[in-house]
A = this chain, B = another copy of it.
């Protein structure tokens, strides 16, 4: 019954559903956040500095495309990525942007230079330094993200609490702070504050999903309910 043309139109329309879901900066930010683990609408709204209503609508857009699914829990709705492939999609798009657009590194370098924060480790460099010296690994994301998955042995210390809990950290070791990934600013602020207070500190550019994709171990607290 369907003509060749109608068939092709239908197929490409389906593929475009994926594209349309990731054609908006805010939706990409939501995906990036959801790569850290399941979150409620309100959490996502706060972390992305969007209104709840707007967040909800974008989430429904993502849901239409099956990139995320929702679970009702009391009056909350917990959104999460459909599966690993969704996180991989985000990483693929981010990688292509890095690869193709000079603006990407220009923006990043200008921003980091202003903050004297160009220096950073990647996962491989970290792995190597860990064989040579003893480091303190600091996860500065909110605790619920730490709970979902973190570097084995990393200490959880959300950046908002950092100022009040500096005393917990050793001054004789270099502190490596990480957060959500190369474009997340939490570890930036953490390193800045640590250095101001006389600590030796450096940022890890990669986030959990990055090193997980590279095959490095991630530990999480199971059965969060």
Q: Report the nearest B residue to A24, measured CB to CB.
A: B16
* Number of residues on chain A facing chain B (CB within 8 A): 54
Asked if A13 is at the interface of the complex by the 8 Å CB criterion, the answer is yes
A148 to nearest B CB, angstroms?
A: 21
Determine whether the beta carbon of A13 is less than 8 Å from that of B25: yes
Asked if A127 is at the interface of the complex by the 8 Å CB criterion, the answer is no
Asked if A219 is at the interface of the complex by the 8 Å CB criterion, the answer is no
Number of copies: 2
A80 to nearest B CB, angstroms?
A: 14
Residues 1-16 (chain A) with a chain B CB within 8 angstroms: 1-2, 4-5, 7-16
Residues of B near A114 (CB, < 8 A) are 1-2
Where the two chains meet, the residues of A that have a C-beta atom closer than 8 Å to any C-beta of B are 1-2, 4-5, 7-26, 28-29, 32, 49, 65-67, 82, 85-86, 88-89, 92-97, 99-101, 103-104, 107-108, 110-111, 114, 183, 185
A187 to B107 Cα, complex, angstroms: 47
